[in-house]
Structure formats: C-alpha cells, structure tokens
Structure 1
Amino acid sequence: MPSMSRARFLKEYVLKVEKEFELDGETAEWAPSSSGGPLEWGQEQSSMDIVKSDKSAERQVSSTAMALSPDDKYLAIASNSAIRIYTVDKKEIRAELIGHQSNVSKVFFVEDISKAETPNDTQYMILSDSKIYSDKGDIIAWYLDSDGKSLTRTMPFAIEALADKSMSAISEDLTSHHELDTDALAEIRKGFVDTLVKSDMKNRLQSLTHWKGHFPSFGSKPLSADGERWLQVLNNESTQSGPRRPALLPTIVVRHFDNINSATYLHGHEDAIMWASFSPTNSELLATASWDGTFRIWSALDGRENLKITQGDVQDWSGDFSPDGRHVLFAGTDCVKIYSIDTGDQVLKLGRDGLKTEAWIRYLSWSPAGDAIALGNGMGVLLWRPFDKKYAKWDRVDEILKLGAEEPMHKGFVSFNGIRWLDRKGQLLAAADGENSFFVWDRERNLKWRFQRPMGKELELFSDDCVYDEKRKVLITLDGDWKLREWNLE
C-alpha cells in the first residue's frame, strides 16, 4: 500500500490556494508591501540563521519556540533544549539560558512582573517548559535585567577538559593491556562527554527556580492577564492505556507570581488535559478541555469546579474566552459551542447547512475586538461572527481561506495548524499551514500577504511559530529551515 511521509509531501506538494480571504462578497487585495502577490523565502525584509548546534534530547526531533518581550525589545528563541535572548533590532545575543533536560516546548514573557517575586534588578521574567513523550518535564523561571542578560548564573562544567582528564588516566592502560585502537578510545571519550553534558544540565537546573510539569497546548493562555497567576498541568499522560490512582490523574496546578511556593490544585479530570486558560478579565476563573469528554470551569482560588459540561465518550481539545470574559468557546469532537459564563448555558453552536466541519477543530482564536472567531478547519479557515451587531442576522460563519491538494495523500499534511490574531485591536489574522507558509489578513483594510515556502524546499523541523512587532509593523516567523524571517506588514 502506498504511503506518504512528510519529507515526500514537502518535495511533491504544489501550494494550491482556492480561496484567500474572501468575506461578504469581497476578496482581499494584495498589500502594497507584498509587491502584488505572494512572497517566497528569500524575499523577506531580513533573515537570520537560528543556532541549531544544541543537542536534542534522546528520542526527540529538533524543535524551536519563540516569544517577544512586552516592550518589543527582545526575542526569546528556543533551539532544542537551549533558549537564547536576542535584541530585536540588531539580533545580538544577550543571554543563553541553559537548564532544560529535554527540548523546550513553549516560551512566555510575563507581561506584568510588578506583582511577581523576582530577584533584584529583574526587568523581564520568562517561563518556559519542556517535556518528552511521557509527562516528564520541567517549567523554569528565568530572570533578565534591562540589558536582556540572565540574573541567574551557574558555573558550567568544563566538559572537554574533564573528558580529556578522564581519558588521560585510563587510555594508556586500555591501549597496552586491552589493545584498544583510536576509534575505541574515541567512543569511550564520547561516552564521558555525553554523561558530563547530562550531569551539567542537572546541576544547572538545581540552581534555577523550577517545577515539575508542563504547559497545556492548543492555544492555551497559561499566564493570567493581570499578572497574578499562572497554571500548569501535572500527571498529564493519557489514561487510555489503563486506570491510575486518583492522586496520579491529570491535574491543573495554579501558581502565584507573588509567592512561588503557593499552589492550588484542581482535581477532577480523568484523562489528559489538552487546553486550559484563564479568563482575560478575571484571573480567579479558568476553563479546561480534556480527553475525558468534559469541558470544565474552575475557581482558581480554591480549586472548586464551577461547571462541568459532559460530551460523552469523546475527546475534547481546545477553547478560548471572549475578550470581555462573558463567554467561553469550547471545541471537542464534532462540537464547537459557546457558553455563558454567568449561567453556564449553551448560547450558540457552530454549524450551518452545507458547512462541513472537521471532527476535531483544535486551532482557534477569539479576536481581541470580540466580534469574530477564527478557526482552523482542515485545509480551510472559518470566520465565525457570533455576536456581530452590524448585520440583521447574527451568528454568521464563512470560509475565508481554503487550500487544495491534487494528490489525496497530501491532504493530511496541508491542514492549518497555527491560527492567531496578531495585534491588540484584533484586525490582523495569521494562519500557518502544514507546509510552513503563512497567510496574513488585515480585515480592517482588507489587505493580504502570503509568505510562502518555495516548492520542494526541504525542512529540518516543524514550525508554525510567529510573533508580531506592533511598533515596527513587522511579522517575525520562525521557519522550518532554521531561519528567522522578518516580513513588512505596512
């Protein structure tokens, strides 16, 4: 039976755009900075090679992650298990943050550190997480000064010197008595180096503020908007392979920035927690979606479950709050619904005659403007306007972006994975597809950009990460060929 690998897909697939930001009978025009059409890699405003010499954790593929500081001055870029702090303007490295035992998954700058317990001279605080195939992983707090330099420093092992010293003590005996050749000695030395690297990482971690666990996925917002709290998940392995004791079931942990030792535990979910976010207007409230077939709303104060919505024997995946905190959107298997926070009642359900939706809609984002929700729907993007008062008929949904594939086996690789509103006004929408091209729409001016991977270009990693520098009106993309690119959105 024929099969399709990602490498083969990237080599064969020709990007086919069937619809590109069409809404209410109008199609977006190419933005002036787009030169009348899509821009391919190589036509960006500027680019930079990402350091890729950092070793991946055992059994992990290479990975990257990125975050922009609240004042748009610094970029935190993770490359496998290391994080580097760059200046945005000149891309100078200011710090290397070493301590994660496995590849970094997510990086967040804390928006407001005024309430956080931090060392003296802290200007920026970062939270990053790492995890491997099971639930093993760590969350680390990093503290930077005004120059972007780390305030936590540890003495790294002199790994090469220690390996040489170890070999000098045993190499003569191994050569004369055991007749080992140069290749065999090199293999032994490599073993010393690998062991020292692991020990060095563990030693560095002990000097850092860290916690066991990791952040939830699928657009989760684990840091509260008011700078009071943040959340993580523990014991988040799926229970589908077998039951576990209640104490070992997936758990949400709410922590407090002003007291790193304080925590509230939210027990109740019986399978892996996919998504969790704080209300944008009330950090005492949060919502979760889990593979146990439930959506839940919780009190962050005492861990009490305020609302439980049971979907049955299905997997629930994602969600988002409305910007005013009055509603929450939940997305599960064959289900995308909006609920009232005050009453817990279902308000609306996504669904129209003739509208085909994927069984799992996992990538979505509610616009900061409050009037629209963007949802990745397989090879398309939907715009749902649930409370749009500009129209006589509320609750409108339209497919605004759609890709195609000539080869049926290509379809599973093309889906949109990254859906995000870029600006604080909620007018700039970015969508990343499975072959690492970015589609951007300014719905206020009805302009569009497309930043496209050249056909056949091989990728060394999967990335759909981007951030928006609102001051410079520049989109920064972290691409699968280990390059950081800047694109003009003026």
Structure 2
Amino acid sequence: MSRQEFLADFVYSVRKQFNVNGTPASWAQGSKPAHRFWGDEDSAIGIAYSSHDHTNHHYAVSCDAKLVAVCGGLNVSIYDIATQERRAQFCMSIDRANLMDAPSLVDESLAPIVSQITRTHGPMDSVIQPLLHTLRENYTKALQDLQGSLLFASVPHVDGKLCGSRDSSSRGKHFLYVTNNHGLQRGGRPLAELPEIVVYDYALKSTKFVLAGHGGYIVWTSFSPDGRYIASASHEGTCRIFDSTTGDCRHKVDLMDGQCSSGAWSPDSQHIAICGKDKRIATETGVAASLLVTVVISVETGKQVASFDHGDPSSRHSSIAWSSRNDIAITQDTDIYFWDPFSDNTMHSFSIDVEGRMLKTYAGFSQISWSADGKRLIVMCGDGTIEVWDRDANVRWRVQRPQGLTTKRFGQGFHWLEKLQMLICLNGDGYLRSYTFE
C-alpha cells in the first residue's frame, strides 16, 4: 500500500475516546463547531511553491510567536500570524533549464534493473513491487538532495540537519544541528565519520561546540527548557547529557539493547524521557523479546529512575510529550497512554480504530504536544487529522482531513500558540491553517 492509497481509502474513526475517570470527553460547546474539517478553519494561507516537483514543506514559528516562516520548495515566506500579512519572501532564482528532472532520471536509471528482474523472476509480484517502490523513493530523494545542495551552494549554510524537539536555546542565541548523521551499524565507520552535534552561535555565525561520542544515528537532540543542558539519543541505544556552557559530557547512559527513537525533557529540566526498543525476558517462558519502552533518566545522577513497558512486541513507533503536571503522554502506533513516572500510574486513554500493521504504520500519531499549563493535549494522526482534548473540562475538538482527500506534500505538523490560544497547522494539501478553540 502506498501513502496515496492509504489517504484515498482511510476512514478516520475513534475506538477509545479521551476520558476522565471513565467518562468519555464530549464535544466542546461554543460559537464554532467542535468538529471541523480542512476548509472550515478561521483563516488559511496558501503556500507558494517554487515547483510542483518539490513535495517537502516545512515551517517555523518565531520565539515571540508573532511570525511564521513557511518553506515551499525553493520559496521561503514569512507571515504575521495575527494579520496573515506576508512580511517577506525569499526565492532562490534559478535557471529552470539547469534543473534535473529527478523522476524521469530515476525511471531511466532503473529501467535496466526492472528489465533484468522481469527476465529473471517474471512479472512484478506483491513482494518485489513494494521493494522497487521504496528504492525509487529513496533514489528520487537522493537526487533532490543533491540538486538542492548544488542550487544553494552560493548561499551561506550549515552542513547538517535538524533532529530535535527544541533546536534553539531558550534565549534564541544558539541552535543545534547534526552532521555525518547517516544510518550505520555499531562500529560501521571510522571515528572521524561518526555523527556529531554542532552548537551554532547565531550572532557570531560560527560553531561554539562540537559534541561527539555517539556511535550510531542520532534520532533526537534538544536543549533543556532552562537552557543549561543538551541531551541526545541515538540508534546505538545510548543517551548523552552535555553541559551547554562548557560542552562537557556529564553523563553517557546505556539505556537499551536496541534503538532509541524519540525523547522529551521534563518541564523543570531535571529529567529526560527516552523511548526506544529494548529486550525483555518473558517471566513465563524465559524467551527474550524486543519491546517498545520509555525510560526516565535523572539529569543529576544519569541514572534510570522509572520505566514503562508498552507490552506489545509488534509496536514500532512512539512519540512522547511531558506535561507541566509531570505526566507523560506516550503514543504507541495508534494508541495514547498517560504515565506518571514517579507514581508509576498508567492509563490507556485514546485509540484510533485501525486494523492491520500497514494501516497502523500510516495512521500512527506523528506529533503530540501539551499546552504550557498541561491542560490541553494536541495530537496529529498520520493522515493529518488533529485531536485536541481539554482534560480539566473533559471536552474535545477535532480538525479532520476530508475523507478521500489525497495529498502530495510531506512535512505536515502543528504548533500551539499559547498567548493567542490558537492552533496553526501545516497540512499536506499545501495550506497553513489556524483555529481558535473556546
């Protein structure tokens, strides 16, 4: 199944609703419907794309939450969030005659491979076709990355990628990016080619520190809320905690006999939660199984203080968000759990009605976040539908992708604007939408 096929056929339905002490959340009552669809938003901005060939789009909100920058291919536009006015636009001027037609080049390059596979194995079957589709996607992306590097060679840039939940320091002076961050097995590359975290100084336009030590792909790195520390987690199953002032590594924590996948800081900067795969021995059978787990680490000691086992060995994806009330929202494919790591109290709270491994992979939650007061939880499903739950009032809102609408854009997400009590979301159909909830 392709992503387009998933979007065309997927019917969004909730199996288990948010609840308080067993009472399901009701639709919020107000002047605006609690259940809205794309097209029913308070306002929307159509993103200007440099070319329909560029399917990735991204956005970033300024530290004062007054401006939003949206990237559509080679176009970057900056908007005033309150007025929707476009303040500035940057567009890379290029000679289109020099652009590579990546899809055509990929098809031309793969034609001999397809021909040989057909001669050797016969017509494409249900096993070979998905593998070839993945190969084509990866090859296309590699060509697009190469073209982007060539086009922007004359523009000041840093040679790395962002991979954190809090890439900028609390005062906006520094930001984090990673280099050499490619998939590799343990011991698979020389020391000089291993992934590194770069702390970059905006004002000086130079590197402040280079944080090294991970031997595997870095999946998450982030400043602490108070800006004193930098934490990271990698595929080698380790977490590192650095002093952001000196760059010294305070702790190297061996967490899992498997890969870390995501992380989150506690609001008081005293603990870190890391999710990933670890091996557990079944009490009944004594057989080792790889399970999705979330562990909490003390920043002071570097020791593990709590652990939550997800229980389902087939689960592969998880995101976490730590609330100001000290409980953690954890996604597990299409389910959400709430866990208090200090009392070890767990509640299964929400579930999308999806059957089948492939559907769960596509429909699984892609982003989860709390409001600053820990009152509202916002979560985005893989199709772009967003659920908002107010746990104090036990009411909910939904912003839903219209059924059957297929989209070609990648990079969708949302941001909760605390001062405006407004949700902005970048959707796969090429619009930046805003909603207010009463």
User: The TM-score by the shorter chain falls in which range?
Assistant: 0.7 to 0.9
- Aligned partner of 1:278 in structure 2 is 223
- Aligned partner of 2:106 in structure 1 is none
CA contact (8 A) 1:433 1:464 kept: no
Measured against aligned partners, the alpha-carbon deviations of 1:328-369 in whole angstroms (never above 9, x if no partner) come to 1111113211111112222111138xx6476445411111x1
- Aligned partner of 1:213 in structure 2 is 160
- Aligned partner of 1:300 in structure 2 is 244
- Aligned partner of 2:269 in structure 1 is 325
- Aligned partner of 1:93 in structure 2 is 86
* Match of residue 366, structure 1, among 303, 309, 322: 322
CA contact (8 A) 2:58 2:412 kept: no
Task: Output aligned runs, 1:21-420, within 5 Å.
Answer: 21-33=18-30, 38-54=35-51, 56=53, 62-98=55-91, 159=95, 201-203=152-154, 205=155, 208=156, 210-217=157-164, 220-240=165-185, 243-283=188-228, 285-311=229-255, 313-333=257-277, 334-351=292-309, 356=312, 359-367=315-323, 369-387=324-342, 394-405=343-354, 409-420=358-369
Aligned mates of 1:86, 1:453 — CA distance in 2: 24
Aligned mates of 2:5, 2:152 — CA distance in 1: 36
Aligned mates of 1:384, 1:370 — CA distance in 2: 11
Q: What runs of 5+ residues in structure 2 fail to find an aligned partner?
A: 99-146, 278-291
* 1:291, distance to aligned residue in structure 2 (A): 0.9
* 1:324, distance to aligned residue in structure 2 (A): 0.9
Determine helix, strand or coil for the equivalent of 1:211: coil
* Equivalent residue letter for 1:315: Q
CA contact (8 A) 1:436 1:463 kept: no
CA contact (8 A) 2:36 2:400 kept: yes
* Equivalent residue letter for 1:373: I
* Equivalent residue letter for 1:296: R
Measured against aligned partners, the alpha-carbon deviations of 1:284-334 in whole angstroms (never above 9, x if no partner) come to x21111011211212334443322222454111221111111111111113
Quickly say closer, same or farther: Cα 1:300–1:89, change in 2 above 3 A.
closer
Measured against aligned partners, the alpha-carbon deviations of 1:100-138 in whole angstroms (never above 9, x if no partner) come to xxxxxxxxxxxxxxxxxxxxxxxxxxxxxxxxxxxxxxx
* 1:276, distance to aligned residue in structure 2 (A): 0.7
Aligned mates of 1:445, 1:385 — CA distance in 2: 20
* 1:51, distance to aligned residue in structure 2 (A): 1.4
CA contact (8 A) 2:49 2:74 kept: no
* 1:402, distance to aligned residue in structure 2 (A): 0.4
TM-score (norm 2): 0.78
Q: Which shifted more, 434-443 or 27-36?
A: 27-36
CA contact (8 A) 1:232 1:253 kept: yes
Over aligned residues, Cα RMSD in angstroms?
A: 2.8
Quickly say closer, same or farther: Cα 1:287–1:407, change in 2 above 3 A.
closer
- Aligned partner of 1:17 in structure 2 is 14
Determine helix, strand or coil for the equivalent of 2:158: strand
CA contact (8 A) 1:438 1:451 kept: yes
CA contact (8 A) 2:56 2:410 kept: yes
Determine helix, strand or coil for the equivalent of 2:205: strand
CA contact (8 A) 1:98 1:201 kept: no
Aligned mates of 1:424, 1:53 — CA distance in 2: 36
- Aligned partner of 1:142 in structure 2 is none
Aligned mates of 1:405, 1:360 — CA distance in 2: 15
Aligned residues between the structures: 377
CA contact (8 A) 2:363 2:382 kept: yes
* 1:37, distance to aligned residue in structure 2 (A): 5.3
- Aligned partner of 1:179 in structure 2 is none
Determine helix, strand or coil for the equivalent of 1:9: helix
Measured against aligned partners, the alpha-carbon deviations of 1:437-465 in whole angstroms (never above 9, x if no partner) come to 00011223222101111111111223441
Q: Which shifted more, 316-325 or 402-411?
A: 402-411
* 1:470, distance to aligned residue in structure 2 (A): 3.2
* Equivalent residue letter for 2:167: P
CA contact (8 A) 2:318 2:333 kept: no
* Equivalent residue letter for 1:298: F
Quickly say closer, same or farther: Cα 1:251–1:201, change in 2 above 3 A.
closer
Aligned mates of 1:314, 1:199 — CA distance in 2: 37
Larger radius of gyration: 1
Quickly say closer, same or farther: Cα 1:343–1:97, change in 2 above 3 A.
same
* Equivalent residue letter for 1:7: Q
Q: Which shifted more, 335-344 or 399-408?
A: 399-408
Aligned mates of 2:264, 2:221 — CA distance in 1: 9
* Match of residue 407, structure 2, among 459, 462, 472: 459
Aligned mates of 2:19, 2:148 — CA distance in 1: 52
Aligned mates of 1:363, 1:448 — CA distance in 2: 21
Aligned mates of 1:16, 1:215 — CA distance in 2: 33
Identical residues among aligned pairs (%): 32
